[in-house]
Amino acid sequence: MAPRHALLSAADGTFVPVPARDHLSLVQPVYITFADRVELRQTGPLWRREQRRSPVGLAHAAHLHSPKALCGAPLESLEAFGRSRHPFEGFETGQRCRTCDAAAGRPAS
């Protein structure tokens, strides 16, 4: 299947394909999720019980290679969580740090 291109009208009325890279859109930034504390919870059926880490307290956000959360809290004092199970956008507004939420642009899931 041939790639799709946008068509641009030329002066003589013909259409010229324009590569898609010329039509870039804004990409939402990716934030790593942190929490005030961690709690181990038992999950799964009784015969296959597992302990999973769950965030407790407020959820904080940080850029990928930043030493601090968006609110300025040092990451050493917070617990890190993966994006696959606990994305920052997945937390309700009341569970997020107000400063991190405002700095992240109030992302919605």
- pLDDT, tens only, 66-91: 999 999 999 999 999 988 889 999 99
- Per-residue confidence at 29, pLDDT binned at 50, 70, 90? confident
pTM of this structure: 0.70
For the stretch 13-23, pLDDT in tens is 665 555 555 55
- Per domain, the residue ranges of the chain are 32-103
Report phi then psi at 94, rounded to 5: -70, -20
Strand 79-81, strand 32-43: pairing: antiparallel
Judged against a pLDDT cut of 90, whether residue 56 lies above it is answered with: yes
pLDDT confidence band for 3 (50 / 70 / 90): very low
Mean pLDDT within 83-102 = 92
Asked whether residue 1 carries a pLDDT value surpassing 50, the answer given is: no
Token pair recorded at residue 41:
């919870």
Residue 65 dihedral angles phi and psi, to the nearest 5°: -115, 25
**For residue 13, is it left (φ>0), alpha (ψ between -120 and 50) or beta?**
left
